[in-house]
Amino acid sequence: MSRPHAATLVFDYADSTAARLVAASVRQELDDIEGDRTRATLTRSENSIEVRVTADDLTALRAGMNTWFSLVEVAESVAEV
C-alpha cells in the first residue's frame, strides 16, 4: 500500500564512526515502533543517516517524525556525538 505523505530526515555527523553508531542504535527500532498508519526506513552513507517516514495522513506523519527525532537525539546523547 502506498502512503501519500512522506518526509526525509537527514542527520550529518563528523565522521563515519559516529554515523554508524547512531544508525545501529536506532535501526533496531524500525520494526518495533511501526504503526498501522506510519512506516520508516533508515539508510546510512558515510557520515550521515537518513530516515524516511511515510504515513497515511499528516497527523501520523508528524507523530512519526517526532518519534524519529527523539530516538536519534537520545542515541546521539548516549553516544556523545
Radius of gyration of the chain (CA): 13
Rounded to 5 degrees, φ, ψ at 40 are -140, 150
Strands 38-45 and 5-12: unpaired
45: pLDDT strictly greater than 90: yes
Residues 37-65, mean pLDDT to the nearest whole number:
94
Residue-level pLDDT at 34? 67
Residue-level pLDDT at 36? 82
Query: Can you give the pTM of this predicted structure?
Result: 0.87
Rounded to 5 degrees, φ, ψ at 63 are -65, -40
DSSP type of residue 57: S
